[in-house]
């Protein structure tokens, strides 16, 4: 039987997809949590595996016909265990947020105390924000960056851990530009008898590429997303010690999710294979070098960077020294017009609301995938500063957009 779209093609949706591909390829993609995944990953995600139901795990499913899917999921599991040196892996979480909630469910009871980085200082919604299920189900106590150097102060983490005796300490960030040292968190967790979870959502690709310390040897549980620096399909993953393996698996299914997305799991397997190649190490190191070069070039143009710089793939820019009236919201809108995509971001203790903000977050994973290097980072800083300086001048914004398009044309993503 023919499919309806054989005779009535959905031009409405496919035209929009074409336009989105064009937008991605003609503009600068500087959202720190985004990347260009490979055609191989997209082929897996767009495959007939989307048709298959496979509740359960390889060898233990609730439906028939899963022999091939079992092989695919087993390959994904073995690859990611080898990539990070983990005892156990669950590749089924649909997202990083799900991975975190499943990890909590595996080791916590409702009301248990957990230590996590405050959202407005660079943590994640699932690290105990009161509007998120994590903050409603568990008693999160937030650590923050210090007002002086805007870095996480391990003495403060230790003091809070000694005071509140958490069952779990969570390290991990979404908009904190510095490394969190897994070993230091582990020492505090051991001192207070807490479990230690590292949320590596943003930095999984840096870890895989040797550009960030690996938390796996120190943490009971490591969660991450597969689509950020790791450059795979959109999704999540949980690594754990053997001790927590059964509880993690039970928490993912049947605890938190139903049928796994086996087409996405195949995409994850492909991404883990790609991340194990020597060229991925070069990629990860270049992401960090590019972030550092972009950070320096922005400082030279009058921007202030939260914590003074970056150790990883992202920076948080305080716009106020550049222009006291410029908000993150306006900067995001203006830069969008100029073909530069990034997101507004609160700076620590931001006097403006999270919908307005005084900062923006900038990341280099996508432009590094395109092959850009340090000289292009200087050009990007100049384009950002030019657009923001002339933000009420439509002709100048159009000129910046044309320069952005010509830079991107020299570094095609696909």
45 and 239 Cβ atoms separated by less than 8 Å: no
Rounded to whole angstroms, the Cα distance separating 150 from 177 reads 10
Give which of 413, 317, 32, 74 is closest to 201, Cα–Cα.
32
Give which of 55, 41, 40 is closest to 92, Cα–Cα.
55
> 119 to 138, contacts with ligand DSN by CB under 6 A?
124
Query: Which of 79, 178, 231, 234 is the catalytic position?
Result: 234
Is there a catalytic annotation at residue 199? Answer: yes
Q: Distance of alpha carbon 322 from its chain centroid, rounded?
A: 27
Q: How far lies 402's CA from each of 224, 386, 406, in Å?
A: 36, 13, 6
Rounded to whole angstroms, the Cα distance separating 172 from 60 reads 33
Q: Smallest distance, Å, CB 33 to ligand DSN?
A: 3
90 part of the interface to ligand DSN, by CB under 6 A: no
Query: Which of 223, 225, 327, 368 is the catalytic position?
Result: 225
The dihedral of CA 206, 305, 199, 28: what is its sign? negative
140 and 128 Cβ atoms separated by less than 8 Å: yes
Closest residue to ligand DSN, judged by C-beta, is 33
Is there a catalytic annotation at residue 225? Answer: yes
304 and 317 Cβ atoms separated by less than 8 Å: yes
Question: 227: how many CB neighbours lie within 10 A of its CB?
Answer: 27
96 part of the interface to ligand DSN, by CB under 6 A: yes
Is there a catalytic annotation at residue 234? Answer: yes
Compare residues 174 and 341 and give the one whose CB is closer to ligand DSN: 174
29 part of the interface to ligand DSN, by CB under 6 A: no
Compare residues 356 and 378 and give the one whose CB is closer to ligand DSN: 356
Is there a catalytic annotation at residue 144? Answer: no
> 33 to 52, contacts with ligand DSN by CB under 6 A?
33
Query: Which of 52, 186, 228, 391 is the catalytic position?
Result: 228
Compare residues 171 and 245 and give the one whose CB is closer to ligand DSN: 171
Number of shown-chain residues binding ligand DSN (CB under 6 A): 4
Compare residues 160 and 203 and give the one whose CB is closer to ligand DSN: 203
174 part of the interface to ligand DSN, by CB under 6 A: yes
> 321 to 380, contacts with ligand DSN by CB under 6 A?
none
Query: Which residues sit at the interface with ligand DSN, rule CB under 6 A?
Result: 33, 96, 124, 174
- Residues known to be catalytic: 53, 55, 199, 225, 228, 234
């Amino acid at each position: 039987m023919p499919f309806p779209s054989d005779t009535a093609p959905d031009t409405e949706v496919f035209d929009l997809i074409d336009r989105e591909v064009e937008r991605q390829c003609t503009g600068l993609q500087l959202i720190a949590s985004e990347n260009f995944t490979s055609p191989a990953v997209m082929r897996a995600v767009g495959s007939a595996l989307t048709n298959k139901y496979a509740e359960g795990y390889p060898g233990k499913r609730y439906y028939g016909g899963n022999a091939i899917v079992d092989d695919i999921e087993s390959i994904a599991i073995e690859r990611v265990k080898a990539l990070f040196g983990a005892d156990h892996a669950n590749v089924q979480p649909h997202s990083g947020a799900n991975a975190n909630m499943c990890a909590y469910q595996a080791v916590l009871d409702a009301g248990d105390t957990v230590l996590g980085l405050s959202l407005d200082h660079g943590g994640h919604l699932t690290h105990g924000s009161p509007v998120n299920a994590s903050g409603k189900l568990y008693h999160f106590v937030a650590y923050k960056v210090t007002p002086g150097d805007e870095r996480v102060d391990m003495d403060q983490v230790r003091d809070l851990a000694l005071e509140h005796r958490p069952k779990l300490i969570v390290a991990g960030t979404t908009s904190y530009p510095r490394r969190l040292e897994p070993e230091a968190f582990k020492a505090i967790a051991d001192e207070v008898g807490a479990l230690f979870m590292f949320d590596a959502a943003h930095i999984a690709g840096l870890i895989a590429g040797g550009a960030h310390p690996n938390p796996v040897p120190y943490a009971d549980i490591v969660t991450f997303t597969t689509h950020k620096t790791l450059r795979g399909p959109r999704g999540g993953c949980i690594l754990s010690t053997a001790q927590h393996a059964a509880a993690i698996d039970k928490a993912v299914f049947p605890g938190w999710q139903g049928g796994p997305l086996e087409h996405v799991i195949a995409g994850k397997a492909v991404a883990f294979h790609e991340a194990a190649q020597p060229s991925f190490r070069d990629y990860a190191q270049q992401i960090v070098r590019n972030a550092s070069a972009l950070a320096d070039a922005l400082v030279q143009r009058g921007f202030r960077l939260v914590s003074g710089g970056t150790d990883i793939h992202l920076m948080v820019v305080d716009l106020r020294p550049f222009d006291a009236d410029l908000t993150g919201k306006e900067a995001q809108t203006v830069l969008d017009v100029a073909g530069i995509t990034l997101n507004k971001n609160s700076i620590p203790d931001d006097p403006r609301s999270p919908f307005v903000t005084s900062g923006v977050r900038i990341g280099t994973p996508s432009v590094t995938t395109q092959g850009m290097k340090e000289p292009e980072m200087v050009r990007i800083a100049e384009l950002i500063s030019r657009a923001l300086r002339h933000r009420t001048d439509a002709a100048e914004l159009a000129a910046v957009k044309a320069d952005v398009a010509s830079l991107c044309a020299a570094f095609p993503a696909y």
